[in-house]
């Protein structure tokens, strides 16, 4: 049974397979066009994928037509369409994660290929022509792979990054196989339409990989959407630090570790005389001052610390593995940094200061709220002492 199935696969007509790939690419292109035109989700990446699929369909369509293709396309135009498809794919890969298009390197490879294909006449032994085209295609896909790997590594774990670039790598393997075949089987023609085992397997694989590649790109775009929604739900839109909910979750999680002997401390931060600043310079100046406050605080915290905005002009920092003495040092650095930061609004200078309250978590604290309450009380004591002061809880 399995023998009959594999025979049926191998007996497939290359022309039929070629046309199936062209139709599949055109359908994928249509889906990407509608994504680009009808939604605001990754429109640049969707447009690149629409164009890449359409150009590749054009290139393979010219291959299928062979000598019947219109003059210019027959004379290397089809190859330039295919190289154009991979150049657009290469340019568009960074756009999938919201980075600028990598159009320079893509254009450079496409132009170099165009010059080469125009300069070398399409006659005699076509192997060198096929090798040049597949080298250009392979180079573009290799660049896309490296780029995709670098971008993905910043957002997801290495194993998932490797899985997600597998379809792109598979395209590279297919192109390399076609290139190597021209060396290994010099007696065989380089025409993809000819019925032989290599062509049939290669075309089946191309059909499969094109499908999987488009599906993976769609997955990547959905992943990007999910990540940005996740980020929006956890960040304060004005200052981009953690919002109250995300910070409370982080503190509660840290509190669970307290019973296992992992200490932590909280620093409560409240900007001084913020109402006066708002009333004098306006609400926009108040917003800018909040951003400046965050700029001054950020250099004082480590990667493991969590800075969040509880609301209004009140912020809090979670310092894992830190005792009261360590927290005092951090808070004092923050206070001095803010005091030294120059702030002015439309030519009006304004001295920014804040009051700081510190509390260290104790084993008898039933919940994180108890620690937060002590830090809050310490912060009000700092206000009572005249502001611009760091105060620890008793
Ligand atoms: N610009 C701006 N103002 C805000 C924001 N959230 C809250 N406020 C204002 O912050 C002010 C807080 O005033 P208060 O609670 O009296 O605090 P304060 O003036 O800093 O006084 P002290 O804390 O005692 O020094 C209020 O006027 C709020 O309207 C915001 O996101 N942007």
Segments making up each domain of the chain, as ranges:
2-233, 244-392
pLDDT of 147 strictly over 80: yes
The whole model's pTM is what? 0.69
pLDDT of 283 strictly over 90: yes
> How much distance in Å is there from the Cα of 273 to the middle of ligand 1?
7
Predicted confidence at residue 122, as pLDDT, reads 60
> How much distance in Å is there from the Cα of 278 to the middle of ligand 1?
7
Report the pLDDT averaged over residues 268-291.
Answer: 97
Q: For residue 92, give Cα distances in angstroms to 15, 141, 169, 353.
A: 30, 12, 16, 46
CA 19 from chain centre, in angstroms, equals 34
With contact defined as beta carbons under 8 Å apart, do 309 and 315 qualify?
yes
Ligand 1 site-directed mutation target among 273, 275, 382, most atoms within 8 Å of CB: 275
> How much distance in Å is there from the Cα of 251 to the middle of ligand 1?
24
Choose among 244, 242, 258, 249: nearest CA to 359. Answer: 258
Residue-wise pLDDT tens digits, 60-116: 988 888 766 666 666 677 888 999 999 999 999 888 877 889 899 999 999 998 888
Ligand 1 site-directed mutation target among 293, 313, 380, 387, most atoms within 8 Å of CB: 313
Arch. (CATH architecture) of 244-392 = 2-Layer Sandwich (3.30)
Residue-wise pLDDT tens digits, 204-256: 999 999 999 999 888 888 888 888 898 899 999 999 999 999 999 999 999 99
Choose among 253, 260, 359, 383: nearest CA to 306. Answer: 253
- Give me the percent of the chain exceeding a pLDDT of 70: 92
pLDDT of 279 strictly over 70: yes
> How much distance in Å is there from the Cα of 360 to the middle of ligand 1?
27
Residue-wise pLDDT tens digits, 328-338: 999 999 999 99
Lowest-confidence segment of 102-111, 189-198, 378-387 by average pLDDT: 189-198
Distance CA 89, CA 219 (A): 16
* Pocket-forming residues, ligand 1, beta carbon under 6 Å: 238, 270-276, 278, 283, 286-287, 290, 312-313, 383, 387
Predicted confidence at residue 123, as pLDDT, reads 64
Ligand 1 atom closest to the CA of 387, numbered from 1 = 25
Residue of the nearest CA to atom 3 in ligand 1? 286
- Give me the percent of the chain exceeding a pLDDT of 90: 59
Predicted confidence at residue 71, as pLDDT, reads 63
Ligand 1 site-directed mutation target among 286, 385, 386, most atoms within 8 Å of CB: 286
């Amino acid at each position: 049974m399995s023998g009959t199935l594999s025979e049926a696969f191998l007996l497939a007509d290359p022309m039929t397979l070629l046309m199936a790939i062209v139709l599949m690419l055109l359908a994928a292109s249509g889906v990407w066009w509608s994504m680009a035109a009808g939604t605001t989700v990754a429109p640049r990446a969707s447009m690149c994928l629409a164009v890449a699929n359409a150009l590749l369909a054009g290139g393979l369509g010219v291959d299928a037509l062979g000598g019947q293709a219109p003059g210019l396309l027959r004379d290397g135009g089809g190859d330039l369409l295919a190289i154009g498809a991979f150049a657009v794919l290469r340019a568009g890969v960074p756009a999938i994660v919201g980075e600028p298009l990598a159009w320079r390197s893509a254009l450079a490879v496409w132009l170099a290929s165009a010059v080469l294909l125009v300069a070398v006449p399409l006659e005699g032994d076509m192997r060198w022509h096929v090798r040049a085209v597949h080298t250009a295609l392979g180079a573009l896909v290799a660049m896309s792979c490296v780029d995709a790997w670098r971008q993905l590594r910043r957002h997801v774990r290495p194993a998932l990054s490797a899985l997600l670039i597998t379809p792109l790598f598979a395209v590279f393997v297919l192109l390399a196989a076609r290139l190597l075949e021209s060396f290994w089987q010099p007696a065989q023609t380089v025409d993809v339409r000819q019925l032989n085992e290599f062509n049939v397997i290669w075309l089946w694989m191309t059909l499969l990989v094109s499908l999987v590649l488009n599906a993976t790109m769609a997955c990547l775009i959905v992943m990007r959407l999910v990540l940005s929604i996740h980020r929006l739900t956890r960040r304060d839109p004005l200052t981009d630090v953690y919002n109250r909910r995300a910070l409370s979750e982080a503190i509660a999680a840290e509190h669970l570790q307290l019973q296992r002997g992992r200490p932590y401390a909280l620093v409560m931060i409240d900007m001084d005389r913020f109402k006066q600043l708002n009333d004098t310079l306006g609400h926009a100046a108040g917003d800018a001052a909040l951003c400046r406050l965050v700029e001054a605080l950020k250099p004082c915290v480590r990667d493991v610390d969590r800075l969040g905005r509880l609301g209004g002009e009140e912020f809090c920092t979670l310092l894992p593995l830190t005792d009261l003495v360590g927290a005092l040092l951090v808070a004092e650095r923050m206070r001095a940094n803010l005091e030294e930061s120059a702030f002015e609004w439309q030519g009006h200078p304004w001295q920014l200061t804040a009051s700081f309250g510190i509390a260290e978590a104790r084993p008898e604290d039933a919940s994180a709220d108890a620690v937060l309450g002590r830090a809050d009380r310490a912060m009000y004591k700092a206000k009572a002492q005249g502001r611009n002061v760091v105060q620890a809880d008793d």
